[in-house]
Amino acid sequence: MRVAIVVTTIFEPRFLDGYVENLRRFGHDGTTEIIVIIDRKTPPTVAERCEHHRRAGARVLCPTLEEQESFVARFPSMKGRIPYDTDNRRNIGFLMALERGAEVLISIDDDNYVLDHVDFVAEHLVTGTTIDDPAAESSDGWLNICTLLHSSTQDEIFPRGFPYFARRHERTLRGANEGAARVAVNAGLWLSDPDVDAMTRLTQAPRIHAAEDASVRLGRGTWTPINTQNTSIVRDAIAAYYYVRMGFSLGGLRIDRYGDILSGYLVAKCVKTRGDAIRIGSPIADHRRTPHNLFKDLYHELAGMVLLDDLLPWLTETTIRGSSYAELYASLADALEAQSASMKGFVWDDGGRDFLVETAGHMRAWLEAVAEIG
């Protein structure tokens, strides 16, 4: 399987050596490429370290800003849609991975460190294979993946993007026999600093010291957030994996830090409709979080929290149609735009409806770019 690991960064390249060594140690250096997408704030040491590994024989690609712009210019539909100084630049890496023939795309963050004893790529290569495990179905339709983590907190914690309306519910889980299905998305978990929202970090500051060994197949009627940290996706599903553009004004707030969460929910809708599977658990990465102002994070996340609580009941129940991921994603873009007019209230009356319409437009532009690659 040809694999591409895509990451964006504006920090020193401390994560990179571990991945290069892990690929070499477990024999994936010949089939796996690391694509590092820099931005205007990225220190020159990132490109220098990438070049060091490339000269040593590693498959590491670090396109300059000029090379990135030249690449994006080949896709007219994406003109002006991938702004600088945002994590939306990750979309460039996704398109590059697709064009360079990746059969599995692995998205990581620059503060997710590979564990020495974990065969990182091998554990992600469940993506694209067929599994017949029982699926975890929740009584309320929601699975808190943080229950797979051993946390320092006494109170339950939830992953970033888990709707607040579902945090108040007690739920039971059962195993459901849904038959064999291909894994289209695999979401790995994290040690140390879990991917929770700023509200949780401020009030609970959880630390993770271990994770369950067993992974979970998500039931077709059960949902959970999927981020771009330590997440893999099969090639044809990349058509439904546009990283949603942030920075939109909603109800006097400026939404950010939810681009990956929205993209995860949208691709999950397509995966479930198509009858493929989502798996959650391994591989485990060590999340050594880069410095953040938690109050600033909270400000940017508030609009996303409100938006998800209103949007997800509709998204989980709406019907989309298509046989391929491209057809399903196009149907979802149409449904999202049509639904925008029905959304009322806080954030929706002040920019929220326009945000959904704009997102639908970005989704269609993404599909055009993916179609050009084939």
Q: Tens of pLDDT along 354-363?
A: 999 999 999 9
Position 374 pLDDT exceeds 90: no
The pLDDT of residue 130: 98
Distance CA 243, CA 303 (A): 17
The domain segmentation of the chain, as residue ranges, is 111-373
Binned at pLDDT 50, 70 and 90, residue 62 comes out as: very high
Position 80 pLDDT exceeds 90: yes
Position 372 pLDDT exceeds 90: yes
Would you state the structure tokens that stand for residue 147, as one six-digit string?
């229950």
Q: Is the dihedral of CA 280, 281, 283, 288 positive or negative?
A: positive
The pLDDT of residue 7: 98
Position 263 pLDDT exceeds 90: yes
List residues bridging with 278 in a β-sheet: 185
On whether the CB atoms of residues 225 and 264 are closer than 8 A, the answer is yes
**What's the mean pLDDT in 17-26?**
98
Distance CA 161, CA 262 (A): 8
Q: Tens of pLDDT along 48-59?
A: 999 999 999 999
**What's the mean pLDDT in 248-261?**
96
The pLDDT of residue 54: 98
pTM: 0.98
The pLDDT of residue 169: 85
| 51: number of Cβ within 10 Å | 12
Residue with tokens 């067929």: 130
Q: Tens of pLDDT along 177-236?
A: 999 999 999 999 999 999 999 999 999 999 999 999 999 999 999 999 999 999 999 999
The answer for residues whose C-beta is within 8 angstroms of residue 167's C-beta and 6 or more apart is 158
Q: Tens of pLDDT along 117-142?
A: 999 999 999 999 999 999 999 999 99
The pLDDT of residue 92: 98
What Å distances lie between residue 318 and 47, 259, 267, 315, 342, CA to CA? 44, 21, 14, 5, 13
On whether the CB atoms of residues 107 and 233 are closer than 8 A, the answer is yes
